[in-house]
DNA sequence: CTAATAGTGTCTGTTAGACACTATCTA
DNA sequence: TAGATAGTGTCTAACAGACACTATTAG
């Protein structure tokens, strides 16, 4: 056993995403939805005053997910949310002072249900609007295969970052690497994690019920569609969208009470949709 | 900073899967394919003489994936393979002696290209045939949602294990936990990782080119189909399968030279299939 | 001829996408 | 009435699944 050897430190960091309503100008118009991520301003070196994903060191007698939840609660006052493990970042020099391996979690919260508040190691805790777009695609042929580079632009309100997602195909083997080309004001390699989390979310929203973690107890189908649209960053056709989600929701008797247009039926999540699907398949 | 605090140890472990040909009895019949995982017999406590996923401690100045590759090479003599990060296991008591966090990788190798050999911390390195099946499904309704338990049986040749995959749905939140019910002769929580790796592989084989990491340079479409079948544990229809993979392969002029039946055309991987697909979509 | 594997053509039902239409509310 | 949102019907092209058929080899 290498108990005597020098050990790396282990941290957990948690990406928290949400979708919020923007203030509406016209009382007849529905509010626009915006996709956001929660960051904290670091109180301490390294990266003092940079924005970072909330997180911290794992206690020696604490499970990883428990540590992620504790740190998130300590720094931002959020608790009791959906959480899944995203990726473990362990590059030797990702922390300038010492070797730190970071196990990164991703979580989704219902924006109507939030009480964010900076605490502990955080000077400030704040939601940043996300824009994430493919802006460049390059392909280089090599002797054995090719290298493809996709560059994504990650914009966090006033902060800007460029992420290169490099795909190397070497005969039968595919290697995917992610690198940061530029990420002003974002601490460590956290821009990488933010972009990877968005891609995981965009991917999972297509074939799972993960989006419902972003919804309140009751919602309209238009709300739900707008959440899909803002995450996928493209418009969907109403009739097709409704056909797609009809099995995942249950009608209620309630309606919205907006003024100036037809009221909309409220729905809630149908936790049995998978079973219904399986029954249909047989 | 908590440099003074007690730190966990960090290990990397690598799941290596392959598909091998079984010895054929009849010279006219094609060999059967079997799905296998590589395990080592532990030389040291804890879990001395149990079977384990190859792996070991991360050096302080070594990247995680580099450590995984080094440990795999040291213990089994395998090098230069496809590898992706699977999951990080960090339960407090997963190692009976001290706190160990294990970052687990998964890799796929071409069976015709193997030189496995036990070295270092390994008494023995051996391929185990895998059987992985859903054997029980239970659903319990709770006040706020339900809890669903799927039990999978993981059989590794002479070794037997039961894995419970527990899905808890609580209103809007879905929690998935994996627990080992029984895993004789398998070290640590490694049975969990083996089962999770199989699920990841079954999932990715449907919509990526990951299967080609298991193939030699040249192969027949029947070979390829049998690899899919043995991983997915179900039979596929030939005509449909061929339609599905046609864009992922390139014809060669070569043919098999078996006796007693029609020769089969040999193909190789087409590294451009994604681009072709995208072009088709526009 | 038989036994074995290789390879193709086509029908069917489901789904994704596009689009056009109808309905309901307030001022 | 206009302007806003809610909600539905239907056409088409693509695709997955099932199945039946033809082709080539050795003995």
Determine, yes or no, domain membership for A31: yes
- Cα separation, B63 vs B67, in Å, equals 6
User: pLDDT tens for residues B262-273?
Assistant: 999 999 999 888
Q: Is the pLDDT of residue B2 over 50?
A: no
Nucleotide nearest to A265 (CA to C1'): D6
* Inter-residue contact A13 to A105 (CB < 8 Å): yes
Percent of residues, chain A, with pLDDT higher than 90: 66
Is B97 in contact with A1 (Cβ distance < 8 A)?
yes
Is B271 in contact with A212 (Cβ distance < 8 A)?
no
How confident is the model over B31-56, as a mean pLDDT? 94
**Cβ-Cβ contacts under 8 Å for B250 (sequence gap 6 or more):** B267, B268, B269, B270
The predicted pLDDT at position B148 comes to 85
A59, A70, A102, A172, best to mutate vs chain B, most B CBs in 10 Å: A172
In this complex, the answer to whether residue A160 has its CB under 7 A from any atom of chain D, a nucleic strand, is no
Q: Give CA separation, B183 vs B97, B154, B161, B176, B253, in Å.
A: 19, 9, 4, 20, 48
* Inter-residue contact A42 to A123 (CB < 8 Å): yes
The predicted pLDDT at position B242 comes to 98
User: pLDDT tens for residues A95-131?
Assistant: 999 999 999 999 999 988 777 877 777 789 999 999 9
- Cα separation, B267 vs B252, in Å, equals 5
How many Cβ atoms from other residues are within 10 Å of residue A64's Cβ? 21
Determine, yes or no, domain membership for B160: yes
Mean pLDDT of chain B: 89
For B152, phi then psi, to 5°, come to -110, 145
Domain residues for the domain of B149 are: 9-281
Determine, yes or no, domain membership for B243: yes
A90, A92, A213, best to mutate vs chain B, most B CBs in 10 Å: A90
Is A146 in contact with B271 (Cβ distance < 8 A)?
yes
Q: In the structure, what pLDDT confidence band is assigned to residue B160 with cuts at 50, 70 and 90?
A: confident
User: pLDDT tens for residues A259-282?
Assistant: 999 999 999 999 888 766 655 433
The predicted pLDDT at position A282 comes to 31
How confident is the model over B79-87, as a mean pLDDT? 91
The predicted pLDDT at position A265 comes to 98
Tell me which protein residue sits closest to nucleotide C5, measuring alpha carbon to C1'. Answer: B261
Element (H, E) at B43: none
Catalytic annotation, pick one of B65, B75, B117, B124: B124
Provide the pairing of β-strand B100-109 with B9-21: parallel
Percent of residues, chain B, with pLDDT higher than 90: 67
Give residue numbers, 4 to 33 of A, with CB < 7 Å from strand D: 26, 28-30
- Cα separation, B63 vs B65, in Å, equals 6
Nearest chain A CA: its distance from B209 CA (Å): 9
Determine, yes or no, domain membership for B136: yes
Judged by a CB distance cut-off of 8 A, whether residue A98 touches chain B is yes
* Inter-residue contact A13 to A87 (CB < 8 Å): no
The predicted pLDDT at position B172 comes to 67
From the centroid of its chain, how far is CA B178?
17
Element (H, E) at B208: none
* Helices then strands, each counted (H, E), chain B: 5, 12
User: Pick from B198, B164, B191: which is nearest to B178 by CA?
Assistant: B164
The predicted pLDDT at position B94 comes to 96
The predicted pLDDT at position A2 comes to 40
Judged by a CB distance cut-off of 8 A, whether residue A168 touches chain B is no
User: Pick from B128, B71, B131, B129: which is nearest to B105 by CA?
Assistant: B71
Judged by a CB distance cut-off of 8 A, whether residue A64 touches chain B is yes
Distance A277 CA to D14 C1' (A): 22
**Cβ-Cβ contacts under 8 Å for B158 (sequence gap 6 or more):** none
Is B88 in contact with A88 (Cβ distance < 8 A)?
yes
How confident is the model over A189-217, as a mean pLDDT? 95
Number of domains observed in the structure of chain B: 1
User: pLDDT tens for residues A21-69?
Assistant: 998 778 899 999 999 999 999 999 899 999 999 999 999 999 999 999 9
Q: Is B206 a catalytic site residue?
A: no
Distance A262 CA to C23 C1' (A): 8
In this complex, the answer to whether residue B218 has its CB under 7 A from any atom of chain C, a nucleic strand, is no
In this complex, the answer to whether residue B257 has its CB under 7 A from any atom of chain D, a nucleic strand, is no
Mean pLDDT of chain A: 89
Q: Tell me the CATH number at A81.
A: 3.90.79.10
Distance B213 CA to C6 C1' (A): 24
**Cβ-Cβ contacts under 8 Å for A208 (sequence gap 6 or more):** none
Peptide bond into A46 cis (omega under 30): yes
Determine, yes or no, domain membership for A35: yes
- Cα separation, B264 vs B252, in Å, equals 11
**Which residues on chain A are in Cβ contact (under 8 Å) with B171?**
217, 269, 271
The predicted pLDDT at position B45 comes to 87
Determine, yes or no, domain membership for B45: yes
Is B88 in contact with A103 (Cβ distance < 8 A)?
yes
How confident is the model over A214-228, as a mean pLDDT? 97
Query: How many residues would you count in chain B?
Result: 282
Residue A103: half-sphere exposure toward Cβ, Cα within 13 Å: 29
Q: Is the pLDDT of residue A149 over 80?
A: yes
A148 pairs with which residues across the strands? A139, A167
Active-site residue set of A: 124
User: Pick from B255, B271, B244, B258: which is nearest to B218 by CA?
Assistant: B255
- Cα separation, B170 vs B177, in Å, equals 13
The predicted pLDDT at position B278 comes to 55
Q: Give CA separation, B55 vs A154, B17, B201, in Å.
A: 36, 15, 20
Element (H, E) at B101: strand B100-109
Give residue numbers, 218 to 237 of B, with CB < 7 Å from strand D: 237
More confident residue, B113 or A140: A140
Determine, yes or no, domain membership for B3: no
Of the listed ranges A161-175, A178-192, B171-185, the one predicted with least confidence: A161-175
**Which residues on chain B are in Cβ contact (under 8 Å) with A212?**
172
Determine, yes or no, domain membership for A106: yes
How confident is the model over A149-165, as a mean pLDDT? 85
How many Cβ atoms from other residues are within 10 Å of residue B220's Cβ? 18
- Beta strands (DSSP E) in A22-94 are 33-42, 51-52, 55-57, 82-89
More confident residue, B166 or A167: B166
Question: Reduced to 3 states, what is the DSSP secondary structure of residue A10?
Answer: strand
The predicted pLDDT at position B205 comes to 96
- Beta strands (DSSP E) in A142-199 are 145-156, 159-170, 173-183
């Amino acid at each position: 056993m290498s108990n005597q050897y020098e050990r790396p430190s282990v941290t957990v960091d948690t990406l928290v995403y949400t979708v919020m309503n923007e203030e509406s100008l016209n009382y007849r118009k529905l509010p626009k939805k915006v996709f956001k991520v929660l960051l904290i301003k670091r109180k301490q070196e390294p990266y003092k005053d940079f924005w970072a994903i909330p997180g911290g060191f794992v206690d020696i007698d604490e499970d990883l997910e428990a540590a992620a939840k504790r740190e998130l609660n300590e720094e931002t006052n959020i608790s009791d949310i959906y959480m899944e493990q995203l990726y473990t970042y362990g590059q030797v020099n990702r922390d300038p002072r010492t070797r730190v391996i970071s196990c990164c979690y991703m979580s989704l919260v219902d924006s109507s249900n939030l009480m964010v508040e900076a605490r502990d190691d955080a000077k400030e805790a704040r939601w940043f609007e996300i824009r994430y777009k493919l802006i460049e695609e390059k392909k280089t042929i090599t002797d054995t295969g090719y290298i493809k580079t996709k560059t994504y632009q990650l914009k966090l309100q006033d902060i800007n970052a460029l992420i290169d997602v490099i795909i190397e195909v070497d005969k039968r083997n595919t290697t995917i690497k992610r690198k940061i080309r530029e990420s002003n004001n974002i601490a460590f390699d956290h821009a990488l994690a933010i972009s990877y989390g968005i891609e995981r979310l965009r991917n999972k929203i297509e074939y799972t019920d993960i989006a419902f973690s972003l919804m309140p107890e009751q919602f309209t189908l238009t709300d739900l569609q707008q959440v899909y649209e803002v995450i996928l960053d493209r418009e969907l056709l109403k009739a097709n969208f409704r056909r797609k989600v009809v099995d995942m929701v249950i009608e209620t008797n309630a309606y919205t009470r907006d003024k100036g247009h037809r009221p909309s039926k409220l729905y809630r999540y149908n936790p049995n949709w998978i079973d219904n699907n399986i029954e249909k398949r047989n």
